[in-house]
Structure 1
Amino acid sequence: MKHVTGLECIVCGETYDADQIVYTCPNHEGVRGILEVQYDYDAVLDAFDAELDGSIPSQWKYRAFLPVHDDAEAVTLHEGGTELYDAPNLSSELGVETVVKDDGRCPTGVLKDRASSIAVTKARRAGRDVVTCASTGNAAASLAGYAARAGMDARIFVPAAAPESKLAQPLVYGADVLAVNGTYDEAYDLSLEATEAFGWYNRNAAINPFQVEGKRTVGHELAEQTRTDPPDWVVFSMGDGCTIYGGWKGFREFSELGFVDDAPRMLGVQAEGASAIHDAFHEHDGVDDVADTLADSIAVGAPRNTLKACKALSESDGTSVVVSDDEILDAESTLGRTEGIYAEPAGAAPVAGVRKALDEEIVAPDETVCVVVTGNGLKDTESARAAADDVHYVDPVLDDVVEKFGPPETS
């Protein structure tokens, strides 16, 4: 990896060899010693020969930017390359020009596939047979799918309260799923203990420095897709904080390299019941580290990547908002009925965040907004039923249809 110069602690600046399997800087207790991948961009540009023409078959178009060895065989299901949709109906409803980047179209239905592809590629090259992670459900399914693709074993830790559909998916992929009788944070801690005890490769994006690098390809894609007219704002939901930082880092890189005219501001969205990053960014006191939200994908009480998330917000001159569960469900319904895009609650939360930001005069009506859908609605059908209208049961007679919709018009 001649284009990767090392790993740098974002707190103390200590550097480490990128060929080591090292997760955090040991100079710090807790989660503050998060590592950042550093690049030689001259070497990156020497290797990058793709045309930025809007044709993106997968995230591996940007392989020259990814922290993988030249001889590593990519483990891929053609993740990334997702559509950026014009959203005229949603724009009209929100009162601001909006486009939607739908990463629910990734192979396992979630943006996290960008990171899982990198994790399993690196684990296989390092000679590891088992990959692991803790997850509220999406990373579990994603990692399990890519492990299956690579012929590796996956050992997954999830809170027992994770949606059934999210537990079923990694089981179909052949993973060992351990449903922990506790919170996500307790599942996370157990996954770290198991990693150390068994020597597995840990995909947890909160600590594995290479996972943000895969997620940053969503920023590369957005930069390429909006090259001559980038949005004023890009909106992500925030759980552990890795995704919004990855998106910002990718877009910022392409801006600094002159590939795109400008970089947008980041708007981070959290649920009221899991608002630790928002609270840290706005320097609120008395933060509750117990997550309580139906948006399980962002139900993180103690985010491990708060520093990177706040860095994305501050460097981009952005900010964050919090929204209620009711606002998230309403956003899920709004996105579906206006544009035909089916998002899980965390994936729809950015729409609720745009509404809140407009109300609070953070986003101006004459600006442009890109919302990033991070997960498909099939991930959590129970919440979708709560967001939508009830089913109407009728007898197999036309009179019942007429009673519902009125008599048909006569020609």
Structure 2
Amino acid sequence: MTLDHVDTLECTLCGETYDPEQVVYTCPNHDGVAGILEVQYDYDVIVDRFDAELDGNIESQWKYRDFLPVDTDATPVTLDEGGTPLVDAPRLGDELGVDVRVKNDGVNPTGCFKDRATSVAVTKARYAGRDVVTCASTGNAAASLAGYAARGGLDCRIFVPAAAPEGKLVQPRVYGADVLAVEGSYDEAYDLSLEVTQEYGWYNRNAAINPFQIEGKRTVGHELAEQTRGEIPDWVVFSMGDGCTIAGCWKGLREFAELDFVDDTPKMLGVQPEGASAIHDAFHEHDDVDTVADTLADAVAVGRPRNTLKACRALEESGGTALTVSDEEILDAETLLGRTEGIYAEPAGAAPVAGIRKARERGIIEADESVVTVVTGSGLKDTAGAKRAVGPVTDITPSLDDVAAHYGTPAGEAGQDPRGGR
């Protein structure tokens, strides 16, 4: 067993350190889950082992295995997550008035960004001899954990708020997980999952408290650093829920810059719905932080984020900022992304596009700057939200007259047989 590239788990509040070989979730010196732990590495060991070419060829996130906090003799539980495309988005850029590329993590194996973290979690759980994995989720983490648990041969028991989208509750059941719909909010489901973890000893994947989850998420930062090596963007934009996704990306970007793999780092822009704005409010030092989430972007509908400190640190260290957008702006962004670039994002994945538009209006992002927006989930995760944006289908009879009523008489010779006859 070799985990010699990981030094310690360090409390972000008091600096107390813990053995990374242990299953430790948070620092016990603090009430609740306030004492979030940060994985600290021996980068000399990592650089000694890491010999991959940074050539843009990324088959999966396990290209960066030497950076991941798993034992050297552990067999990864993987579905080839990561290695997601970074695509130019000229038509979207024209609409927003800025150069844009899209990092599409909605094409991950279970349809969301969380597969990066889940692969690490299930790998560690199986290597530690755990038989059952669990988490609380608004839907995406539930589906992700269920899929990887099935891949790794582990039992999976998930706690979700009863109001989670039906599609997100079907997917984990297809993977064979037990899905327990809690009568209450995500935060109540989350608290229950922590009690269960203590009582039953199941391995908890919750990214907000499991210190190894953010380490899987940071591979998106490694990938972006590699994919933009010759053209580093001015901004990278994420939606924020618990805060660990944007924090993870920033850690990966910062690591590659500090190791001189790339020349610079972008600024981070964090986007939250107006109805779930706790990290934004903390970053801007607002006093009236609301703990009740009310937004259609269920994947980031978090009233009490556990990684606010890490998220705010990422925004501050990168020279970035945070802003909020309305649900209507999110829906507009979802259809804008779809009709300009053919990318179907769930509301939380489209929120960064709404954020870019608002940042342009406010002069936060300048016209001559470049932006990468990260789509964190497929639109197939939440078709009900998309229906609100696009409206109903158009009903017609099987008649050319009905088509003509919509589009007019076709140009050219009327009545010409499309097969070449008359």
Q: What TM-score bracket applies, with the shorter chain setting the length?
A: over 0.9
Structure 2 Cα separation of the partners of residues 352 and 83 of structure 1: 21
For 1:170 and 1:26, the matched residues in 2 are separated by: 32
Residues 272 and 324 in structure 1, CA contact (< 8 A), matched pair in contact too = yes
Letter aligned with residue 22 of structure 2: Q
State the Cα distance separating 1:32 from its structure 2 match: 2.3
Are the equivalent residues in 2 in contact too, given 1:220–1:251 (CA < 8 A)? yes
What is residue 5 of structure 1 aligned with on the other side?
A: 7
**1:132 counterpart residue number:** 134
In the aligned structure 1, how far is the partner of 2:308 from the partner of 2:338?
30
User: What is the aligned counterpart of 2:256 among 254, 257, 269?
Assistant: 254
Aligned partner of 2:177 in structure 1 is 175
Give, in whole Å, the separation in 2 of the partners of 1:25 and 1:197: 18
Query: Which letter does structure 2 place at the counterpart of 1:313?
Result: L
Which whole-Å CA distance do the structure 1 matches of 2:403 and 2:22 have between them?
Answer: 66
Alignment correspondent of 2:159: 157
Matches within 5 A, 1:57-136: 57-136=59-138
Shift of 1:390: 2.7
- Following TM superposition, by how much is the alpha carbon of 1:360 offset from its aligned partner in structure 2, in angstroms? 1.2
Identify the match of residue 28 of structure 1 among 16, 23, 30. 30
Describe the SS at the equivalent of 2:212: helix
Aligned length: 411
Choose from 182, 193, 196 the match for 2:195: 193
Query: Partners in 1 of 2:29 and 2:181 — Cα distance?
Result: 32
> 1:358 maps to which residue?
360
Question: Residue 280 of structure 2 aligns to a residue in which SS?
Answer: helix
SS in 2 for 1:402: helix
Unaligned runs of 5+ in 2: 414-422
Rounded to whole Å, the distance in 1 between the matches of 2:395 and 2:111 is 31
Of 317, 340, 343, the residue aligned with 2:342 is 340
Contact (CA 8 Å) 1:32, 1:307: kept in 2 or not? no
Return the alpha-carbon distance in structure 1 between the equivalents of residues 376 and 313 of structure 2: 20
SS state at 2:191 partner: helix
Structure 1 CA distance, aligned partners of 2:356 and 2:202? Answer: 40
**Cross-structure match for 2:393:** 391
User: Following superposition of structure 1 onto structure 2, how do residues 369-384 of structure 1 map, counting pairs within 5 Å?
Assistant: 369-384=371-386
CA contact (8 A) 1:159 1:180 kept: yes
Give 1:406 deviation, angstroms: 1.2
Distance 1:202 1:152 in 2: 13
2:298 aligned residue: 296
Q: CA RMSD in A?
A: 0.6
Structure 1's unaligned 5+ residue stretches are none
Q: Distance in 1 between matches of 2:403 and 2:186?
A: 46
Q: Is the 8 A contact 1:229 1:261 kept in 2?
A: no
The TM-score, its normalising length taken from structure 1, stands at: 0.99
Q: Could you give the per-residue CA deviations for residues 5-62 of structure 1, whole angstroms, max 9, x where no partner exists? A: 0100011110000000000001111332100000000000011010000000000000
Letter in structure 1 aligned against 2:334 = E
Q: Secondary structure at the match of 1:209?
A: coil
Between the aligned partners of 2:80 and 2:26, the Cα distance in structure 1 is 29
Q: Does 1:280 align with 2:288?
A: no
Kept in 2: contact 1:134–1:204 (CA 8 A): yes
Q: Output one character per residue of 1:61-96: Cα deviation in whole Å (capped at 9) or x when no partner.
A: 000000000110000000000000000000000000
SS of alignment partner, residue 38 of structure 2? strand
Counterpart of 2:104, as a letter, is D
**Secondary structure at 1:409 match in 2:** coil
AA in 2 matched with 1:178: L
Distance in 2, Cα, partners of 1:134 & 1:19: 24
Alpha-carbon distance, 1:389 to partner: 4.1
Deviation at 1:249, TM superposition (A): 0.4
Cα offset, 1:279, TM superposition: 0.2
* Letter of the 2:236 counterpart: V
With the length of structure 2 as denominator, give the TM-score of the two structures. 0.97
Partner Cα separation in structure 1 for residue 60 and residue 269 of structure 2:
25
Local SS of the residue matching 2:83: coil
Distance 1:208 1:176 in 2: 21
Q: CA deviation at 1:228?
A: 1.3
- Percent sequence identity over matched residues? 73
Match of 1:211 in 2: 213
